[in-house]
Amino acid sequence: MALVQNKDHFVSASGILRYSYKDVQKATQNFTTILGQGSFGPVYKATLPSGEAVAVKVLASNSKQGEREFQTEVSVLGRLHHRNLVNLVGYCVDKGQHMLIYEFMSNGSLENLLHGQEEQILSWEERLQIALDISHGIEYLHEGAVPPIIHRDLKSANILLDRSMRAKVADFGLSKEEVFDGRNSGLKGTYGYIDPVYMSTNKFTMKSDIYSFGIIIFELITAIHPQQNLMQYINLAGMSPTGIDEILDKELVGECSLEEVRGLASIAHRCLHKLPRKRPSIGEVSQAILKSKQRHLVKIDTMSFAGRDISRAVSRIEDQQLELSKMASLKERVAD
């Protein structure tokens, strides 16, 4: 069922289209196809007039995220546009309901891919690309947006993947502009991803986002959920230069270079430094991951080139053996 635009729609100050409850109800076929359930509320699938699939997030009446977070999401995403941020295509405030309409991300959340029941296994190449995509999204928020934006709730559940397995950062309900006046309303974020410095000072900075990203990188490497003692495993692994090998996701064992794994783990360790000022900027993290990916690609090219050389050598040997056998049979015929 397509979402039909009508005269009741208008473009808000944020540039995001507003839809009526009736239209969203029709588009979701009366909210029948549920995609998931988040802290915000249930998420349903719908369709735009163009045939484009979208996801509709409905603010639950008992949601911890209230109207303020809803307004933050609309205002922030209305002015931020980047290939590694989930695109908000519309919203609905009607009949006491608050709903957000996003581009549909067909491969769901990173959390579900790493910890769900699906058979799909992420390769090392995919995990490296996902880490790079996330870094680009955060880099845009921290260094490209004016004023800069601090996400404040980076976690695998808020990283969504499209049909090409490209990652995008989502859920900006808790985000703040860096020029925020310092007032706070209690701790925000998700257990397992929260910067310990923030927990003790109640001051959230860009370096708190860096900490959360460091946790996500380790989650990509190990497939251990942060709420299942991931930090304890990280601390144990950090006691040895090769410690990360012991907690590498079993699906990756023998399928990737341990040198590359240790390199990415080293980047993540820097993100988790107990002193925020010692943590790298997101630009530095992004560059480090990019270099790691480039080294990986060079290695693949080298192996491929070597493989082609071996293949050609084997082919030449086979040709020579064939020639020798022909000559041998010819000699036998001459002798007869």
Q: How much of the chain is in helix, strand and coil states, percent to nearest 5? A: 45, 15, 40
Question: In terms of Cα–Cα distance, which of 190, 196, 186, 187 is closest to 171?
Answer: 190
Which ranges constitute the DSSP H helices of the chain? 21-27, 67-79, 110-115, 124-139, 196-201, 206-222, 230-237, 244-247, 258-271, 282-335
**Which of 23, 153, 209, 249 is labelled catalytic?**
153
Question: In terms of Cα–Cα distance, which of 226, 220, 195, 229 is closest to 209?
Answer: 195
- Count CA atoms within 13 Å of residue 112 on its CB side: 14
Instruction: Please tell me the distance from the alpha carbon of residue 159 to that of residue 109, in angstroms, as a whole number.
Output: 6
**Is 153 one of the catalytic residues?**
yes
CB 3 within 8 A of CB 26: yes
Instruction: Please tell me the distance from the alpha carbon of residue 292 to that of residue 261, in angstroms, as a whole number.
Output: 9
CA distances from 268 to 3, 20, 202 (A): 43, 44, 23
Exposed e or buried b per residue across 159-176, where buried means at least 16 C-beta atoms within 10 angstroms of its C-beta? bbbbeebbbbbbbbbbbb
Catalytic annotation, residues: 153
